[in-house]
Amino acid sequence: MRHDIRMRGFRERTEVDDVVRLLEERVRPLAEEAVALVEAAARVLARDIVSDVDVPGFDRAAMDGYALRGSETFGAGPYNPLELVVVGEVFPGRPFAGIVRPGQAVRIMTGAPLPEGTDAVLQAEAAEEVPGPPPLVRVTDAVPPGRHVGRIGEDVRAGTIVLRAGRRLRPQDLGVLSSVGVASVPVVRQPCVGILITGNELLPAGSRPEGYRIVDSNSVMLAALVRRDGGNPCLSALVPDVYEDIRSALRGALENGANAVLISGGSSVGQEDHAPRVLAELGELSVHGIALRPASPAGVGFVEGRPVFLMPGNPVSCLCAYDLFAGRAVRRLGGRSSDLPYRSAVLPLGRKITSAVGRVDYVRVVVQDGKVEPLATSGASVLTSTTRADGFVLVPRDSEGHPPGDSVRVYFYDL
């Protein structure tokens, strides 16, 4: 597809599902890297983690009380109390030196190793200590062996998998990894994503709009989306609508280590839409023009195996193209599921949604009193339609839309 289709329009558009399939086939998770445990939250585990230790590594008290031999207490009761001699005390990290003999007990604190010779703990609340010498503990109920004892390996058994590859690490996962003695964690590398913003009319984010010039919205939006999806928006540039400038910006991003590049603007068939030809020249323009509204002038290609996305400049289209295509690649590169990261729910429609057969529609909706209402505005340039919306509905290609009362799946922007 090296020919120039500027000012001629798309002859045919690729189906959304085919683009998704292409990305599934061609985009693979990055290699792993080791990160310190404290840095590993929300990262994706690259390998199964097998513990080579038991946790705990010893039997320990689960309560404050007295360690004793359970078998000795059988038959003890309020009218038949058993008195044991308290021969010492143990604390967490400080074991009892010696063996506890029949007729003896040891004061024990939660987490302390069970002294040799004992196999159960009498809770402090259920015990009565008689001051000595020698101090005695009075037992008025049976304490079966194992009572209030945390067994060796009860939390983690040596040789078992504690967390599997692909896991997005939760805070408590880090706690478990620490407990088995892991100091650095093998995680999937975070994709470095280049964001190239094209448009002669654009002022950099942080400016005020001025005359006929507008302020770039897409770089900040895309950077936040990339971060949300586990990527690192590591390179960003505002590039004029000049073929050579776009080409050298794309080259530069790839040379500087971008694992994927998003090019905003200039993706269509207008006179100043250079990005498709740049991509075709430097690599492969696999898809240009997609049966999707908005975002039909989107494209996908690869340079040296790295995905490059042509994102329409209209901010709503840009968001849509990210949600449906670029986001999949970012998530997949970083080892996450490529599926939409949004929470979703199936809810009844309050007002009809119209759509044309032959394309997927990305319809911004609000949910009011449990009912889904499409937003009236359809303009891809009205970005506030996405801030007023609670989420979006995807109308499938073969559907003409939905009458009121139909159930539709809403994807919510708020996670």
Q: Which stretch binds ligand AMP (CB under 6 A): 12-20, 175-183, 198-206, 280-288?
A: 198-206
Helix, coil or strand: residue 44: strand
In the region spanning residues 208 to 267, those forming contacts with Mg ion, defined by CB under 5 A, are 265-266
Rule CB under 6 A: choose which of 57, 77, 102, 270 binds ligand AMP.
270
| Interacting partner of 270 out of Mg ion, ligand AMP, none (Cβ under 5 to 8 A depending on kind) | ligand AMP
> How many residues make contact with ligand AMP (CB under 6 A)?
19
CA atoms of 262 and 308, how far apart (whole Å):
6
Q: Which stretch binds ligand AMP (CB under 6 A): 79-87, 93-101, 309-317, 322-330?
A: 309-317
Helix, coil or strand: residue 80: strand
329 φ, ψ (degrees, to nearest 5): -70, -40
In the region spanning residues 265 to 284, those forming contacts with Mg ion, defined by CB under 5 A, are 265-266
- Check residue 385 for interaction with ligand AMP (CB under 6 A): no
In the region spanning residues 158 to 197, those forming contacts with ligand AMP, defined by CB under 6 A, are 197
| Interacting partner of 268 out of ligand AMP, Mg ion, none (Cβ under 5 to 8 A depending on kind) | ligand AMP
- Check residue 266 for interaction with ligand AMP (CB under 6 A): yes
Residue pair 55/153 in contact (Cβ under 8 Å)? The answer is yes
**Residue for token digits 């599997």?**
164
CA atoms of 367 and 330, how far apart (whole Å):
29
- Provide the minimum distance between the beta carbon of 274 and ligand AMP in the complex, in angstroms, as a whole number: 10
Rule CB under 6 A: choose which of 115, 199, 230, 231 binds ligand AMP.
199
- Check residue 264 for interaction with ligand AMP (CB under 6 A): yes
Closer Cβ to Mg ion, 199 or 315, answer by number: 199
Closer Cβ to Mg ion, 139 or 202, answer by number: 202
Helix, coil or strand: residue 109: coil
CA triplet 253, 256, 258: central angle to 5 degrees?
60
What lies within 8 Å, CB to CB, of 391 at 6+ separation is 342, 344, 364, 365, 367, 410, 411, 412, 413
Closer Cβ to ligand AMP, 276 or 313, answer by number: 313
What lies within 8 Å, CB to CB, of 69 at 6+ separation is 100, 102, 117, 118, 119, 120, 145
- Check residue 313 for interaction with Mg ion (CB under 5 A): yes
Q: Which stretch binds ligand AMP (CB under 6 A): 15-23, 60-68, 72-80, 261-269?
A: 261-269
Per DSSP, 100 falls in state P
Q: What is the distance of C-alpha 36 from the center of its chain?
A: 18
CA atoms of 123 and 136, how far apart (whole Å):
15
How large is the C-alpha radius of gyration of the chain? 32
- What track of x and - describes contact with ligand AMP for positions 312 through 351 (by CB under 6 A)? xxxx------------------------------------
Nearest Cα neighbor of 223 from 189, 255, 254, 192 is: 192
Measured torsion, CA atoms of residues 356, 357, 360, 361, in degrees rounded to the nearest 10: 20
Per DSSP, 239 falls in state E
Per DSSP, 275 falls in state H
What residue is closest to ligand AMP based on CB?
313
Closer Cβ to Mg ion, 263 or 329, answer by number: 263
Closer Cβ to ligand AMP, 315 or 391, answer by number: 315
CA triplet 109, 114, 120: central angle to 5 degrees?
90
Closer Cβ to ligand AMP, 187 or 319, answer by number: 319
- What track of x and - describes contact with ligand AMP for positions 85 through 124 (by CB under 6 A)? ----------------------------------------
Q: Which stretch binds Mg ion (CB under 5 A): 115-123, 166-174, 231-239, 305-313?
A: 305-313
| Interacting partner of 264 out of ligand AMP, Mg ion, none (Cβ under 5 to 8 A depending on kind) | ligand AMP
Rule CB under 6 A: choose which of 216, 229, 323, 361 binds ligand AMP.
216
Cis bond before residue 294 (omega within 30° of 0): yes
- Please count the other Cβ atoms lying within 10 Å of the Cβ belonging to residue 60: 22
- Provide the minimum distance between the beta carbon of 297 and ligand AMP in the complex, in angstroms, as a whole number: 7
- Provide the minimum distance between the beta carbon of 222 and ligand AMP in the complex, in angstroms, as a whole number: 9
Residue pair 270/9 in contact (Cβ under 8 Å)? The answer is no
**Residue for token digits 């650095």?**
184
**Residue for token digits 């031999």?**
69
- Check residue 199 for interaction with Mg ion (CB under 5 A): yes
Using CB under 5 A, list all residues that contact Mg ion. 199, 265-266, 313
Using CB under 6 A, list all residues that contact ligand AMP. 197, 199, 201-202, 214, 216-218, 264-268, 270, 312-315, 381
